[in-house]
Amino acid sequence: MLGILAGLKQEARLAAQFFPGAKIALSHACEAGARRALLALQEAGATELLSFGCSGALDPALPPGSVQVAEYVQQDGENHRADPALSARFGAAQAAVRGGILHSPVMIGTAMQKAVLFSRTGCHAVDMESGLVARSGLPFAVLRVICDDAGRDLPPAAVEGLKDGQVHVPALLGSILRHPAQMGDLMGLGRDAARARKAMVHFLQGLPVARV
């Protein structure tokens, strides 16, 4: 059985649309949540895993909407190779980006942090779930889409406006009131997120393993 680990509810809904037979669990965009979600997938009988959803670009050449099927996950300086057959099922040959994805226990929020990590690791993107999937002991693949580019600092609301794996309107409004200058960046991030979702839907529609 396929188990899918995603960060946010909107990612989980997309996974459920295209992989209706899979068991899906949410990290709620935190490492403790990812550990609980992974345990739930294992207890449900998952025999193979997919890390799915959005990622942040480390490579400045990658625009939002770039789809990656990662060849390996890097965590704590160690590379974990994705399963080749499983990666092929999830579109490795069609993906714009292969290479590595970096696992981070915290959200990487600034362009400077991204530049340092790209220089240090060579990974194209970063997320908060793939490292746990890679260390599960089960065959795994990583299918991610870039939602924010390497040159952007994330606005405060990108962190403060989330609760339980989705946008929480009171928290979002509170963040905007505290940091009104972020509105332009927040709107830009929203446009890029929409572009990323559209790109992922288009990619999934071309996968034989996926169905609506």
Higher pLDDT, 116 or 183: 116
Higher pLDDT, 191 or 133: 133
Q: What is the pLDDT of residue 212?
A: 47
Q: Is the pLDDT score of 199 beyond 70?
A: yes
Higher pLDDT, 171 or 16: 16
77 burial (CB, 10 Å; 0-12 / 13-18 / 19+) is exposed
**CB atoms inside a 10 Å sphere around CB 111:** 16
Q: How far is CA 4 from CA 88, 121, 129, 174, 175, in A?
A: 16, 26, 10, 32, 31
Q: What is the pLDDT of residue 8?
A: 87
Average pLDDT over residues 120-149: 96
List CB contacts of 162: < 8 A, sequence separation 6 or more.
8, 28, 29, 168, 171
List CB contacts of 65: < 8 A, sequence separation 6 or more.
145, 146, 192, 195, 196, 198, 199
Please tell me whether residue 52 adopts helix, strand or coil conformation.
Answer: strand
Domains parsed from the chain with CATH numbers: 2-151+196-205 (3.40.50.1580)
Q: What is the pLDDT of residue 204?
A: 96
HEC string of 81-139 equals ECCHHHHHHCCCCCCCECCEEEECCCCCCCHHHHHHHHHHHCCCEEECCHHHHHCCCCC
Of 104-108, 147-151, 164-168, the poorest mean pLDDT is in 164-168
Report pLDDT digits (tens) over 95-126: 989 999 999 998 898 999 999 999 999 999 99
Q: Is the pLDDT score of 34 beyond 70?
A: yes
Average pLDDT over residues 124-149: 96
pTM: 0.88
Residue 147 DSSP code: E
Q: Is the pLDDT score of 173 beyond 80?
A: no
Query: Please, are residues 24 and 16 in contact by the beta-carbon 8 Å criterion?
Result: yes
Length of the chain: 212
Q: What is the pLDDT of residue 153?
A: 83
Q: What is the pLDDT of residue 16?
A: 94
Q: Is the pLDDT score of 76 beyond 80?
A: yes
